[in-house]
Amino acid sequence: MYLIHTPSFRFLFVLLGVTTVMLACPKRTGAGGPQKVRPAGVAGAFYPADPQQLTKTIDGFLAQATVPELNGPLFALVSPHAGYPFSGPVAAYSYALLRGRKFARVVVIAPSHYEAFPFSSIYDGDAYSTPLGQVPVDKEFAAKLVAMSPLIQFSGKGHGEVEGHWEHAVEDEVPFLQRVLGDFKFVPVVMGDQSYQASRALGAALASLMQQEGQTSSGDFNTLILVSSDLSHYHPYDEAVTIDHKTLNAVEEWDYFNLSINSERRIWEACGGSGIVAAMIAAERLGANRAVILKYANSGDTTSDKSRVVGYGAVALTKEPRKRGSKSAEFKLGGRERAALMNIAHHSVETAVRQGKLYECSPSGLEALTLDRGAFVTLKKKGDLRGCVGYITPVKPLCMTVRDVAALAAVRDDRFAPVAPVELSRLEYEISVLSPLRRVTDWKQIQVGRDGLLVWRAGYQGVLLPQVGSEEHWDRTTFLDQTCVKAGLPTGCWQDQDTDVFRFTAVVFGESLGAPAVADQSADHRLNPTPDERLPGSPPH
């Protein structure tokens, strides 16, 4: 599905004393002939049409935004795009980071709200106009982007008016940029295709071009990536906050692959989710390693209506110097959480086998069980595999994920006949709770026995859990090859530039017949990694 229809709040600035107008932008004739200028379609609706009032409004938002000082270069920003009274206070937190910084161009990536098309559309004209003036399109840089992928094209789609609606997602960001950057060129990109493949194509192309340009003396690149995106739409206030923090948590954990999958499926919500993924892919390849959540709010924070709100987030992608000896926080489960999950798995299997129903479960007051996490449940009988099913993508709270996959492992693993009631007392259980996915940028990062792998290429993907490589006594190359085979791809494809390899860890714990209720069998303790081996060069950046 290419079209995401998420209309933002439309309003008139009558209360501000501003007349709603459509700014006329006549084509200017220069040395190159007539110019195609995109008019200010939502001036007077999403933001003031009067230049002085617009300047005052933006400067007022910026004056209220306090942001942390970044210790490294700034690669990309995420900013919302609703009507300024609603999203402007949050957007200002992203733009406040641009004070004192200089960029030659800004690539603005936005979603298409009103048109469907299967590519990323770069405006085929010469400039965008706002009440603060015109911003020229960097057609030379844009042409290089278009040449790098058939999924990126010059087009007017996503930039114009459709049945009385002007696409606002790019335009909404331009006046802020004009106030904080002054003179700059920009590349307006509207993504009609929301797939991971489209995000990857755009992100990889941007990274390649930005890398060729190099960095300035300040450490920043000449190009800034700006993603225009709101978060959840039209949920009650508390529900919106829950959904939005799941999305922001995925960004903060740098799990852009699952962010892409869940955004497409509308499990997590961000109308510009594909643009966020593209920006994270580009930033990662340029060295970024940290997402900073600058501000979160929703429309219910600025109005009295909390029944149907829209979420807004401001995010910065940067590079944080790694301190010697420091370790990133790892997801852990204590004894109570493990026992509760094992209890859920048992009840789920028995309910599915005996009653053909789904077990009703709850997190039992344990916060870790409320977090969206991927998980697998493995069933064995006399040491032999009896069923194994899992969710690699964190689509539900952990307690419900374990409930679902335990039942599926018992009655829906197509490799085996459904578990019979007589077998229930002879089953052995193992649960694997997965960490977020991180793309492998150096093959030496992969440690057999500690890491699981996901291989993706052109829509094909395969997954192997951390314990598989150790149990099979594979070396790293064999583990990579076998994950490719699991995806239906040829061995060795993990070395191709069109293939992405992601790694993850797992909290693995099991219950064998005659063993304690929950044995401490986490991946770090139970599995013995094989020695490193020499491999070809690192994955392409």
Amino acid at position 173, single letter = E
Neighbour count for residue 111 (Cβ, 10 Å): 27
Tell me the two tokens of residue 419: 């578990």
What confidence score (pLDDT) does residue 329 get? 56
What confidence score (pLDDT) does residue 517 get? 43
pLDDT tens, residue by residue, 88-134: 999 999 999 999 899 999 999 999 999 999 999 999 999 999 999 99
pLDDT at 8 over 90: no
Greater pLDDT, 283 or 5: 283
**Interior angle at CA 304, CA 299 and CA 309, nearest 5:** 30
CA–CA separation, 216 and 104 (whole Å): 11
Confidence of residue 214 (pLDDT cuts 50, 70, 90): confident
pLDDT tens, residue by residue, 378-421: 999 999 999 999 999 999 999 999 999 999 999 999 999 999 99
Cα 486 to Cα 454, 476, 491, 505, distances in angstroms: 9, 15, 10, 18
pLDDT tens, residue by residue, 36-63: 999 999 999 999 999 999 999 999 999 9
Residues 6 or more apart in contact with residue 216 via CB below 8 angstroms: 102, 222
505 burial level (CB within 10 Å; 0-12, 13-18, 19+):
buried
What confidence score (pLDDT) does residue 331 get? 74
Give the chain's domains with CATH numbers. Answer: 13-22+34-48+71-318 (3.40.830.10), 337-526 (3.30.700.20)
What confidence score (pLDDT) does residue 533 get? 36
E strands in 105-212 = 105-111, 120-123, 127-130, 133-136, 152-155, 161-162, 165-166, 185-191
pLDDT tens, residue by residue, 461-502: 999 999 999 999 999 999 999 999 999 999 999 999 999 999
Closest by Cα among 37, 57, 210 to 135 = 37
Greater pLDDT, 282 or 27: 282
At 454, give phi and psi (nearest 5°): -125, 125
Mean pLDDT, range 426-448, rounded to an integer: 96
pLDDT at 69 over 50: yes
What confidence score (pLDDT) does residue 539 get? 62
What confidence score (pLDDT) does residue 268 get? 95
Q: Which of 13-17, 114-118, 150-154 has the lowest mean pLDDT?
A: 13-17
Confidence of residue 32 (pLDDT cuts 50, 70, 90): low
pLDDT tens, residue by residue, 232-253: 999 999 999 999 999 999 999 9
Amino acid at position 419, single letter = V
Greater pLDDT, 30 or 205: 205
Contact 509, 521 (CB under 8 A): yes
Mean pLDDT, range 220-236, rounded to an integer: 96
What confidence score (pLDDT) does residue 511 get? 83
What confidence score (pLDDT) does residue 319 get? 94
Amino acid at position 353, single letter = V
SS3 content of the chain, % helix, strand, coil (to 5): 35, 25, 40
What confidence score (pLDDT) does residue 33 get? 60
What confidence score (pLDDT) does residue 1 get? 34
C-alpha 219: how far from chain center: 25
CA–CA separation, 351 and 407 (whole Å): 8
Contact 454, 499 (CB under 8 A): no
What confidence score (pLDDT) does residue 393 get? 94
**Interior angle at CA 245, CA 244 and CA 248, nearest 5:** 90
108 burial level (CB within 10 Å; 0-12, 13-18, 19+):
buried
What confidence score (pLDDT) does residue 218 get? 76
Closest by Cα among 226, 220, 132 to 188 = 226
Mean pLDDT, range 143-158, rounded to an integer: 98
Question: What is the 3 state secondary structure string of 263-328?
Answer: HHCCCCCCCCHHHHHHHHHHHHHCCCCEEEEEEEEEHHHCCCCCCCEEEEEEEEEECCCCCCCCCC
Tell me the two tokens of residue 184: 């700059």
CA–CA separation, 187 and 108 (whole Å): 6
* Average per-residue pLDDT for the chain: 88
% the chain with pLDDT above 70: 87
CA–CA separation, 525 and 516 (whole Å): 17
CA–CA separation, 343 and 346 (whole Å): 5
Neighbour count for residue 157 (Cβ, 10 Å): 19
pLDDT tens, residue by residue, 358-375: 999 999 999 999 999 999
Closest by Cα among 280, 299, 282 to 290 = 280
Cα 49 to Cα 18, 85, 89, 179, 482, distances in angstroms: 7, 14, 18, 15, 59
% the chain with pLDDT above 90: 82
pLDDT tens, residue by residue, 163-188: 999 999 999 999 999 999 999 999 99
What confidence score (pLDDT) does residue 215 get? 84
What confidence score (pLDDT) does residue 64 get? 97
